[in-house]
Amino acid sequence: MDDRVELSLHIPEPFARPGETPTFDHVDIPAAGATRRPAVDAAEVDMRDLPYGMVRVLDADGRAVGPWASQMDPEFLRRGLRAMVQTRVFEDRMFRAHRQGKTSFFMKSTGEEAIGVAQSMTLAADDMCFPTYRVQGWLIARGYPIVDMINQIYSNASDPLKGRQLPILYSAREYGFYSLSGNVGSRFGHAVGWAMASAYMKDHRIALGYIGEGTTAEGDFHEALTFAAVYRAPVILAVTNNQWAISTFSGIAGAEQTTFAARAIGYGLPGLRVDGNDFLAVVAATEWAATRARTNLGATLIEFVTYRVSGHSTSDDPTKYRPSDEPVHWPLGDPVERLKQHLIALGEWSDERHEQMQAELTEAVRTAQREADAVGALGQSKPSAREMFEGVFKEPDWRVIEQRREFGI
Amino acid sequence: MDDRVELSLHIPEPFARPGETPTFDHVDIPAAGATRRPAVDAAEVDMRDLPYGMVRVLDADGRAVGPWASQMDPEFLRRGLRAMVQTRVFEDRMFRAHRQGKTSFFMKSTGEEAIGVAQSMTLAADDMCFPTYRVQGWLIARGYPIVDMINQIYSNASDPLKGRQLPILYSAREYGFYSLSGNVGSRFGHAVGWAMASAYMKDHRIALGYIGEGTTAEGDFHEALTFAAVYRAPVILAVTNNQWAISTFSGIAGAEQTTFAARAIGYGLPGLRVDGNDFLAVVAATEWAATRARTNLGATLIEFVTYRVSGHSTSDDPTKYRPSDEPVHWPLGDPVERLKQHLIALGEWSDERHEQMQAELTEAVRTAQREADAVGALGQSKPSAREMFEGVFKEPDWRVIEQRREFGI
Amino acid sequence: MAQMNMIQALNSALDAVLADDPKTLIFGEDVGYFGGVFRVTDGLQAKHGLTRCFDAPISEGGIIATAIGMGAYGLRPVVEIQFADYILPAFDQLVSEAARLRYRSNGEFWAPITVRSPYGGGIFGGQTHSQSPEAIFAHITGLKTVIPSNPYDAKGLLIASILEDDPVIFLEPKRLYNGPFDGHHDRKLRTWAGHASAEVPEGLYTVPLGKAAIVREGADVTLLAYGTMVHVGLAAIEESGIDAELIDLRSIVPLDIDAITASVTKTGRCVILHEASRFGGFGGELSALVQERCFYCLKNPIERVAGWDTPYPHAFEWDYFPGPARVIAALRRTMEA
Amino acid sequence: MAQMNMIQALNSALDAVLADDPKTLIFGEDVGYFGGVFRVTDGLQAKHGLTRCFDAPISEGGIIATAIGMGAYGLRPVVEIQFADYILPAFDQLVSEAARLRYRSNGEFWAPITVRSPYGGGIFGGQTHSQSPEAIFAHITGLKTVIPSNPYDAKGLLIASILEDDPVIFLEPKRLYNGPFDGHHDRKLRTWAGHASAEVPEGLYTVPLGKAAIVREGADVTLLAYGTMVHVGLAAIEESGIDAELIDLRSIVPLDIDAITASVTKTGRCVILHEASRFGGFGGELSALVQERCFYCLKNPIERVAGWDTPYPHAFEWDYFPGPARVIAALRRTMEA
Ligand SMILES: Cc1ncc(C[n+]2csc(CCOP(=O)(O)OP(=O)(O)O)c2C)c(N)n1
Ligand SMILES: Cc1ncc(C[n+]2csc(CCOP(=O)(O)OP(=O)(O)O)c2C)c(N)n1
Ligand SMILES: [Mg+2]
Ligand SMILES: [Mg+2]
């Protein structure tokens, strides 16, 4: 008789599917202020606990507490709030624009706005971020013209990318925003290379790479971390863990076993796990990592714990694979509400001012959209078809020249 | 004035280059017996110290000590010693065969024989290893005919792989030895898939994947670990850290920052760091990991700390990039000597028996080589050129049929 | 016999093989509970069980690598790569491992894997949801590449691919999932309903790899196409009034060279049509083969109609896409030249 | 002017650009202290400094990815992939990123990287140290692919490639490193010594990309080749006694289409020669182009001589390698047919 254990294949499954009761009990959330803040030059061995804690500053009452809290200029916070609200208003509008057939595609970052916005405001103007499609807030926080975002989304005659790219795959060099692409993960190593170049040139600039928690499974993730660790690249590597990758929960990327911040330990790098819905925590963690980078202490991996409130994109219906009320169960709240509450607690903000701002920003987006509509939405206006043949190489070769002729322009 | 720190690019450098004095002070080596042995089903959080210790059983006097030591059959140990010596004798002879022009290429595992041999003897006959080119000992320990190895190395008419593969890139399904290839790293994930298949079929068999420390930098490494962790695959993932990757020291793969075993922590897997030159430690660690795999506890990452005594391959001259006396400074000694000393200390072996065995094994290799020589060395004998056209697909298609005709056979 | 669109036909194929062979399993990004972003695996997990059809990490290299390992063990994995554009991170696994395993191990190991992937344009997917990478697979010795053009073939070819002991890249023209698209993007959408090839039997049946289909017989010029382009080619022939013979290659490796040479020998003219960029595309190989084998029958130069040598441009999809107008022009040129 | 073999010429090119432009740097597996497994970067680290030429982790994807990031910053990285067979793990980076960055960002970012890699067979390297992957690069819009055949060109083309603002795959025929190999593997090894093209100037000079070289003028048939095959082709022409015109393409993207059509227009016959497997190889594209542009001048079918459609087989290297005998046979066929 065979008394050996029968092997069985484990397939991770989320805690709740449509029709079931959502729970986030599996997400370990220490209290605000509970996780310590080591010196930026602490020894690696003394930072191995960080990936299992969580950098949180705002407590349930909207007070800034604990070692990661610092005196912050209320004006800075108000600007952050403004950019987050602006992002949300803008995205809601564009989502509707998709329904109206004005664009082929759109994606929202609802619930995750603090990450792109706070990091955009914390890093220097000449630093470079290597974005995912879920940090439109970076551009908005830096004042990138919303009308240009819409023109890109419309692929119209004023599209800064000349109709060559899918909507929201922006590129904005002057705003520290590297060219996006549809492939996930493949720019993570570019951030490391860019940072290595800055170090090679004895420059001061640092890089920030973004990746979704689902995408950490790509080889690119590991290769970027390896190079970052080996060459002590001045880079911040940010995992935005919004719990979902299209229909796939984070357990399929490894979340059943450990945190994404813990990946850092394997490379001898510090790994911060951060409340991604806490604007102040995002700022504090980013500052800490940026100081490390700027002082030749090398790379930091940051996991931002957040939640994808909307569907993956306009092509997605999340109620097909998760309970429709899952978003309201998310324990880290809404980044906009939390920062608003903090500012109000500080006496630096009010519901009235908030409503007024919201109205203003809605109007601003409306104006921008009107301007873009005037140029034309998808199908109504597009750049000259010559643009299709430009930019394959720096100088066109005979193939595109002949083909352009064959095409008739 | 700019008081910012000037960034600088860090390029890791080894501790000694040719002409300098070798040192291995940077390799952290706890005493034999010092590293604890948790229960195989210990919680992940309670195993995070393991990658920073080192599983060692044999002490300086050749005694088996500490929690990883166990009662072992002296006959088993003698078989291990025999296979290691056989491997060494065989490789020395093939290295000379290359000098004599009998083969185009060869690689040695000198100093690392304990790993392949001990694991081959510890795992079950129907388990499957996914080898690197540096575990020829696996085959020898399982009694794979040496003459067939030589025939493969000679690419002669009796080559089991029909002249299609570079020397030493064996395939030996019946011996639990998966098809090797020249690309490094690309079979690491196959081990995980094979193990997943075994679990899917409710089988009992487990897989063992090998990878060099240099090759851990490939995306394949990360992808394999991710899948192994997510699906709790019954697999042992072994990093053979022999300090060098051709001319590149382990610091370029990340060894300045942490251990390779520590990579495991990032996936929530146990990571053992093991004295790879200690036959008993290799057995003990392998048994521990195999028990985990066989009881649905999932994967284990093992870093075997060892040293590549020879050059990378017959194409390499290591004195070009490391001190010529570096091998004698290696602190973990020689696996053959250490096991021999242990057996002698047990009263189960003697210098005389060792010499006699050595002579016997030398003769055995000589006999095998004579047999292979009789078939013919490289250039003197080869399989029918028809073999070139076979096996592209299960059934040949018109292209190879036509081309074989064009070729004239 | 049921009416199925291509998605349903593919789903039916997978359902049938899962039911038939416990060694078949499916995995890939979002294919489990959700059933895939194009719904091809819809319902399979619920019906056949969690381990038969499950989600994979976003790691195309890891997906193919583990599939090869499973294949070596003795399973028959069918994996989905969400878009063919995303096969590239797994290219090394396909070329260096899947395609070479049998040869290098002298038949000890092989990789009986099927890699399904939606490919091609026409859905406003932009650069990285529209590409047609078949040429880079066709060049790799040891890989087979299959491209169906209708529901009946899709099911039969997919089952045949899964039953193959060699690795198969199975490219699904995503623009054909819901209807036979002929390139007239400005006309009303058509569905598969009522189309003869949408009559799809339940259960197992195969369409053999390496057998082209003559979609339309004709005397004057041979039009070679596969995938979406079969429908574009047919529309172009009808509109042009030229008596062209339309061949749907169905698989490009193995390639039905006999069907090709027989047709060109008869017509003496040849137009090759594909969506991928022209330069270095599979059309070059087809042109070379036709030229080598039918040189003395050729009345006029072989024409290639293909995507331009640019990346796939979002706003210019219909300028890039080789639609009926360009095919007609090529047919005319080859008749007149 | 010094006599250099191809390794020395490439080393001299790198030395010159490192000296000339501080934004140029080199990295790759074993290229630092050791100077590369083929010694192409020998001495460069000692001369130019640790950060100018350094070792990389064994991670071709990581090497190309970081190089692209450096290029986006404003550097001009030159990376070595140890064997062209090992470019495949970085294929996605090359295709989805390097090749597309300029286009998709409307010129905001680009990847001025040069990827050097020894390629091709003839050194008993077996399956994964012998392959010729140029066809899969040629199909990718946005990549340039350069292949020198002698020391002078190697240096000039490498410098030109590094100065390019577009990504360049620079394939070095490893069998030519030490001498002009003509395919007669059983004859005495020749070195570059005394060869005209081994006269290599010190310092910076360029050979432009996209300009083929007419290695030998001839009236009767055009032989198209690149890399090692140029020498094989030349030997075959001499031995056959056929008055063939031999064109060394030097770069396949950009391709010197004018040189090709001019020659075939003159000769009316064409043989295409490459080491890579035939099916789907770059010869298909060349054949298609010649046929499209010179149809009415062609007296006989275009011939392709190439590696067989099998993996690269270790023991059968000389059975697989398209040596002079097969080229001569093709030349004869095209003359007689
Ligand atoms: C290389 C590649 N594989 C697959 C996809 C398809 N895809 C697009 S987004 C996505 C999910 C990404 O999830 P995550 O990384 O968690 O980011 P999130 O969308 O949650 O922000 C997938 C699988 C892709 N775009 N690129
Ligand atoms: C994908 C790939 N990249 C590069 C190489 C060239 N190469 C062969 S062995 C080797 C070094 C491997 O070092 P390591 O992993 O430490 O193994 P070791 O040789 O020390 O056992 C390299 C770079 C290869 N064979 N495959
Ligand atoms: Mg996510
Ligand atoms: Mg090593």
D240, D194: one domain: no
Tell how far CA B220 is from the center of its chain: 17
Q: Which domain holds residue D144?
A: 2-200
Say if residues C68 and B133 touch (Cβ distance below 8 Å): no
Residue C96 to residue D103, Cβ atoms within 8 A: no
User: Which positions of C are annotated as active-site residues?
Assistant: 129
Q: Where are the alpha helices (DSSP H) in chain D?
A: 6-20, 44-48, 60-73, 91-92, 101-104, 134-138, 151-163, 228-240, 257-267, 282-294, 317-320, 324-336
CA–CA gap between residue D19 and residue D204 (Å, rounded): 10
CA–CA gap between residue A268 and residue B408 (Å, rounded): 59
How many other C-beta atoms can be found within 10 angstroms of the C-beta atom of residue D185?
14
- The structure tokens listed for A208 are 């920030």
Residue D30 to residue B247, Cβ atoms within 8 A: yes
**Cα–Cα distance list, D19 to D8, D47, D124, D204 (Å):** 16, 9, 36, 10
Which residue bears the tokens 């002929």? C182
Instruction: Give the closest of D51, D124, D313 to B11, CB-based.
Output: D51
C156, C8: one domain: yes
CA–CA gap between residue D71 and residue C214 (Å, rounded): 50
D38, D134: one domain: yes
Per the prediction, chain A carries an average pLDDT of 97
- The structure tokens listed for B359 are 């002579």
Q: What would the mean pLDDT of B159-178 be, rounded to a whole number? A: 98
CA–CA gap between residue C103 and residue B271 (Å, rounded): 35
Which residue bears the tokens 């005196």? A71
CA–CA gap between residue A86 and residue C51 (Å, rounded): 44
Tens digit of each residue's pLDDT (9 = 90 or more) over B76-130: 999 999 999 999 999 999 999 999 999 999 999 999 999 999 999 999 999 999 9
CA–CA gap between residue A405 and residue A398 (Å, rounded): 10
CA of B105 to the centre of ligand 2 (A): 15
C196, C219: one domain: no
Please work out whether the CB of residue B245 comes within 6 Å of at least one atom of ligand 2. yes
Superfamily for the B44-378 domain: Thiamin diphosphate (ThDP)-binding fold, Pyr/PP domains (3.40.50.970)
C-D contacts at Cβ under 8 angstroms: 124
Please work out whether the CB of residue A292 comes within 6 Å of at least one atom of ligand 1. no
Question: What string of DSSP letters covers B361-407?
Answer: HHHHHHHHHHHHHHH--TTT----THHHHSSSSSS--HHHHHHHHHH
CA–CA gap between residue A330 and residue A332 (Å, rounded): 6
Site to probe by mutation for ligand 2, drawn from B108, B113, B186, B215 as the one with most ligand atoms within 8 Å of Cβ, is: B215
CA–CA gap between residue B334 and residue B138 (Å, rounded): 18
Instruction: Give the closest of D89, D308, D309 to B218, CB-based.
Output: D89
In this structure, which residue's CA is closest to atom 19 in ligand 1? A245
* Ligand index nearest the alpha carbon of residue A246: 1
Say if residues A40 and A288 touch (Cβ distance below 8 Å): yes
Please work out whether the CB of residue B246 comes within 6 Å of at least one atom of ligand 2. yes
Chain D positions touching A189 (Cβ under 8 A) are 61-62, 65-66, 68-69, 93
Q: Is residue C206 part of a domain?
A: no
Residue B1 has pLDDT above 80, yes or no: no
Instruction: Give the closest of C85, C88, C282 to D91, CB-based.
Output: C88
Tens digit of each residue's pLDDT (9 = 90 or more) over C108-129: 999 999 999 999 999 999 999 9
Please enumerate in sequence order all residues whose Cβ is within 8 A of that of D40, keeping only pairs 6 or more positions apart, or say none. Answer: D7, D10, D11, D14, D31, D80, D116, D172
Say if residues B240 and B115 touch (Cβ distance below 8 Å): yes
Above pLDDT 70, what percent of chain B? 100
Which residue bears the tokens 């500052």? A287
C95, C186: one domain: yes
Q: What would the mean pLDDT of C161-178 be, rounded to a whole number? A: 98
The ligand 1 atom at the shortest distance from the C-alpha of residue D92 is: 1
Say if residues A267 and B260 touch (Cβ distance below 8 Å): no
H or E element, residue A5: none
Please work out whether the CB of residue C318 comes within 6 Å of at least one atom of ligand 1. no
Tens digit of each residue's pLDDT (9 = 90 or more) over C269-318: 999 999 999 999 999 999 999 999 999 999 999 999 999 999 999 999 99
Across the strands, what pairs with B302? B238, B272
Burial of D140 by CB count in 10 Å (0-12 exposed, 13-18 middle, 19+ buried)?
Answer: buried
Please name the residues between 91 and 120 in chain C that touch chain B, using a CB distance below 8 Å: 92-93, 96-97, 100-110
D55, D145: one domain: yes
- The structure tokens listed for A203 are 């420059």
Read off the pTM: 0.99
CA dihedral A97, A100, A104, A105 (to 10 degrees): 50
Residue A1 has pLDDT above 70, yes or no: no
**Cα–Cα distance list, C208 to A119, C8, C148, C161, C247 (Å):** 56, 20, 11, 9, 16
D149, D282: one domain: no
Q: Which of D173, D200, D227 is the last residue of a domain?
A: D200
Write down the pLDDT at residue B3.
Answer: 78
C196, C226: one domain: no
Please work out whether the CB of residue C58 comes within 6 Å of at least one atom of ligand 1. yes
Low-confidence ranges of chain D (pLDDT < 70): none
Tens digit of each residue's pLDDT (9 = 90 or more) over A3-50: 789 999 999 999 999 999 999 999 999 999 999 999 999 999 999 999
Compute the C-alpha angle C293/C296/C302, nearest 5°: 70
3 state SS for B120-178: HHHCCCCCEEECCCCCHHHHHHCCCCHHHHHHHHHCCCCCCCCCCCCCCCCCEHHHCEC
Residue A306 has pLDDT above 60, yes or no: yes
Chain D positions touching B403 (Cβ under 8 A) are 278, 308-309
Q: Which of C175, C200, C225 is the last residue of a domain?
A: C200
Q: Is C249 on the interface with B (CB under 8 A)?
A: no
Write down the pLDDT at residue A26.
Answer: 92
Q: What would the mean pLDDT of B229-246 be, rounded to a whole number? A: 98
Write down the pLDDT at residue D1.
Answer: 74
Please work out whether the CB of residue A242 comes within 6 Å of at least one atom of ligand 1. yes
Q: Is residue D289 part of a domain?
A: yes
CATH code for position C192 = 3.40.50.970
Sign of CA dihedral D162, D163, D168, D170: negative
Residue A400 to residue C309, Cβ atoms within 8 A: yes
Please enumerate in sequence order all residues whose Cβ is within 8 A of that of A41, keeping only pairs 6 or more positions apart, or say none. Answer: A292, A295, A297
C168, C194: one domain: yes
Residue A246 to residue C29, Cβ atoms within 8 A: yes
Q: Is residue C208 part of a domain?
A: no
Chain A positions touching B203 (Cβ under 8 A) are 7
Chain A positions touching B299 (Cβ under 8 A) are none
Nearest of B64, B24, B32, B43 to residue B274 by alpha carbon: B32
Q: Which of D131, D165, D200 is the last residue of a domain?
A: D200
C187, C226: one domain: no
Write down the pLDDT at residue B66.
Answer: 98
Nearest of A338, A277, A284 to residue A306 by alpha carbon: A277
Q: Is residue D205 part of a domain?
A: no
Instruction: Spell out where B184-246 has E strands.
Output: 207-212, 235-241, 244-245
* Ligand index nearest the alpha carbon of residue A131: 1
Q: Return the SS3 of C111.
A: coil
Domain ranges across chain B: 44-378, 385-409
Residue B174 has φ and ψ, to the nearest 5°, of: -65, -20
**Domain count along chain D:** 2
Instruction: Give the closest of A194, A226, A394 to D62, CB-based.
Output: A226
Say if residues C144 and C137 touch (Cβ distance below 8 Å): no
Chain B positions touching A258 (Cβ under 8 A) are 44, 265-268
Amino acid found at D335: M
Q: The complex's ipTM?
A: 0.98
- The structure tokens listed for D229 are 């095959």
Site to probe by mutation for ligand 2, drawn from B106, B133, B169, B184 as the one with most ligand atoms within 8 Å of Cβ, is: B184
Say if residues A154 and A103 touch (Cβ distance below 8 Å): yes
Tens digit of each residue's pLDDT (9 = 90 or more) over B189-234: 999 999 999 999 999 999 999 999 999 999 999 999 999 999 999 9
- Return the CA Rg of chain A: 22
C258, C150: one domain: no
C neighbour chains, 3+ CB pairs within 8 Å: A, B, D
Say if residues C204 and C159 touch (Cβ distance below 8 Å): yes
Query: What is the distance between the terminal CA atoms of chain D, rounded to a whole angstrom?
Result: 46
Please work out whether the CB of residue D228 comes within 6 Å of at least one atom of ligand 2. no
CATH code for position C303 = 3.40.50.920
Instruction: Answer yes or no: D231 catalytic.
Output: no
Say if residues D171 and D134 touch (Cβ distance below 8 Å): yes
C227, C179: one domain: no
**Cα–Cα distance list, C41 to A215, C7, C247 (Å):** 22, 9, 30
